[in-house]
Structure 1
Amino acid sequence: MVNGLKAYCIFCKTGSENHVKQQIEKIDNGIEAIVPVRILWEKRRGKWEIREKELLPGYVFIYYKGGLPEDTLRTLIRNYKLLEYDTGKKELWGYDYDYAMWIYSYNGRIEESKALFEGEMVKVVDGPLVDGIGKIIKLDRHKRRAWVEFDFAGRTFRVSLSVVDITPY
């Protein structure tokens, strides 16, 4: 556990993540809420532009030192679902906790990674993917994309993230 920081996750209606984040921050300023986003390079009209898209639509991560004050969040939890394991435990643990802390370490902004392409091998040298979270399934050097698969809350997610080829030619 990083400095006693515990992680939780709220499942909400897709598109309402930022509203949920604002409500949490109004209720208790000791709770840090993060709506994770991915920063993508996309080609529009022949030019590369940066776009921001949600990493996990419908999920808001919350971080708190100590036990989460559920009584404080009761009105919010009534409308949204705090993720809970079969054991009744609500605090993220194991790989889910590692994933939540990976998001926290990048302040919820998963930017591009830099990679060297050596034949069939890809070596990520900088950026969020260097931490080894997830598995690279597919790469498209021309579109600067890597499709990454990871598990969270018992589900497998596949998202595209930006990767820049820094292979010297």
Structure 2
Amino acid sequence: MTSELYYAIQVLTGEEQRFIQRVEKQVPLAGRGDPEIPPFHLRWPRRKLVIRRKGKRISTIRPIFPGYLFLEAPEVTPPLYHLLRRSTGFIRFLPENHALTPLGAQELRLVRHLLSFGEVLKESTVRFDENSRIVVKEGPLQGLEGQIVKVDRRKGRAKVQLDLYETAFLIDLAFQVMEKAPNPPPHTSDLSRTPDPEQGRPSATREPATREPATREPATRESL
């Protein structure tokens, strides 16, 4: 919905999912059809990482902005504002409760970019050029190349600086390296093969020599 605005909400770190559940339970009580409470969604962008534990690779999901949620709504009416503030775990709206302001253009582009890959970001596909610089082929890292501050090729992670309300977050996003296709062996056809002058030359076959039998003239006796 292009008319929707996004507002950042700070909640207790580690309580993001439970906060969303508490709000969703209160919505039927407040009345989803209440004209004073517009349709809204609480977005919680996360990322998938692979960590090593006791020599094993374990997949885990972690928040991109720990302790922050994004409210997607056309506006924040007083009933919606109080519904969120009364929920356990709520800390404040950003930048301040008394100065409720939707995300600016730059922050909005960032959040929409992340959410366009779903609420759980998967690995990006990258390659490295001849100067060992990372080149993103597809995935969440595409478009964020200028914000990459560190690359850990062994762990498959890129540390990205994401700015939100003048606060810088250093976030690890996962990537996988695109394998190079092996070069096929050069193909040579029989037609392109240069014949060896010493090979392929037909050898002269000699017919076995046959000796013609000698023809003897019959002896004639002269008549006297």
Asked if Structure 1 and Structure 2 have the same fold, meaning a TM-score greater than 0.5 normalized by the shorter chain, the answer is yes
CA-based RMSD of the aligned residues comes to: 2.4
TM-score (norm 2): 0.66
Q: Secondary structure at the match of 1:68?
A: coil
Task: Give the stretch that moved more between structures: 102-111 or 78-87.
Answer: 78-87
1:94 aligns with 2:93: no
Structure with the larger RCO, 1 or 2 (CA within 8 Å, 6+ apart): 1
Instruction: Give CA deviations for 1:71-112 in whole Å, capped at 9, x if unaligned.
Output: 223042254311136993421122111122123212321211
Structure 1 residues 7-86: aligned runs within 5 Å: 7-28=6-27, 30-64=39-73, 66-78=74-86, 79-84=90-95
CA distance in 1, matches of 2:26, 2:109: 26
Q: Which runs of 5+ in 2 are unaligned?
A: 33-38, 183-224
1:160 equivalent in structure 2: 172
- For residue 148 of structure 1, report the CA deviation from its aligned partner: 0.8
CA distance in 2, matches of 1:101, 1:133: 17
Change (3 A) 1:86 1:76: closer
Q: Secondary structure at the match of 2:106?
A: helix
Identical-residue share of aligned pairs (%): 25
Instruction: Give CA deviations for 1:136-157 in whole Å, capped at 9, x if unaligned.
Output: 1111111111111121111011
Please say which structure displays the higher CA radius of gyration.
2
Change (3 A) 1:142 1:130: same
Check the 8 A contact 1:41/1:51 in 2, yes or no: yes
- For residue 48 of structure 1, report the CA deviation from its aligned partner: 2.4
Amino acid at match of 2:75: G
| Runs of 4+ off more than 4 Å | none
Change (3 A) 1:87 1:11: closer
Q: Secondary structure at the match of 2:154?
A: coil
TM-score (norm 1): 0.86
Task: Give the stretch that moved more between structures: 69-78 or 138-147.
Answer: 69-78
Task: Identify, as 1 or 2, the structure richer in strand.
Answer: 1
Task: Identify, as 1 or 2, the structure richer in helix.
Answer: 1
CA distance in 2, matches of 1:143, 1:149: 18
Change (3 A) 1:33 1:92: same
CA distance in 1, matches of 2:169, 2:136: 20
